[in-house]
Amino acid sequence: MFAPANPRRKLKIVNGYETFLRVNALPINPATGGVSVDRRIDSLKEYLTERFAEQLGVEEMAARVNLSPSRLAHLFKRETGTAPREFLKQIRMKHARTLLEGTFLSVKEVMARCGFNDASHFVRDFERQYGTTPRRYRTHHLERARRACSSSRQRRAEPANEVALRRSEAGSDSVGVFLSGKP
């Protein structure tokens, strides 16, 4: 097999081969109108989405898709616009937000279920992404839900109150008239 002695030439061949594969072997992505993501990167993104709670290093991620850590970082950044660890952190943050909104788990339990080891880093990163701490986020979310629930109850109660008022003003015989809307 042909093996060039010059490392730069070898790098050009590898990059040329990757470009060839990307242009000729990958399907068109209808969402972007361009070439779809590299299948290795797409595969890794799916893997990270499924196993976000596990402690995964860049070396493990790279081995999963048969790339060196530096090549993975380069390809991942080029295809997604972010580094692999940052992508993983974003998935974890979205899941943490979902758990805070939909469960009564403590912040520490949410942190652990999302794969974070250090509470201070979790709180700091959550605050950077969502503008508030996890505890305040949950409190604010619950308060919004309570207000929405109480306002919908009031809206449902108002028509019934109007019917009762009309019933008492007109007498019980004319209830059907007010409910049907016919005089």
How much is the pLDDT for 180? 41
How far is residue 32's CA from residue 121's CA, in Å, rounded to a whole number? 34
Q: How many helices (H) and strands (E) does the chain have?
A: 9, 0
Show contacts of 20-29: CB within 8 Å, 24+ apart.
none
How confident is the model over 6-38, as pLDDT tens digits?
A: 766 666 666 666 665 555 554 444 444 445 568
Question: 67: pLDDT confidence band, cut at 50, 70 and 90?
Answer: very high
Q: In this structure, what are the phi and psi dihedrals at residue 106, rounded to the nearest 5 degrees?
A: -70, 160
| Mean per-residue pLDDT, 114-123 | 94
State the chain's mean pLDDT as an integer: 78
DSSP helix, strand, coil percent of the chain (3-state; round to 5): 75, 0, 25
Residue 97 has pLDDT above 90, yes or no: yes
How much is the pLDDT for 177? 41
How confident is the model over 47-65, as pLDDT tens digits?
A: 999 999 999 999 999 999 9
Give the DSSP letter of residue 66: T
More confident residue, 10 or 95: 95
Question: 137: pLDDT confidence band, cut at 50, 70 and 90?
Answer: very high
How far is residue 157's CA from residue 60's CA, in Å, rounded to a whole number? 58
Residue 168 has pLDDT above 80, yes or no: no
How far is residue 136's CA from residue 48's CA, in Å, rounded to a whole number? 28
Residue 95 has pLDDT above 70, yes or no: yes
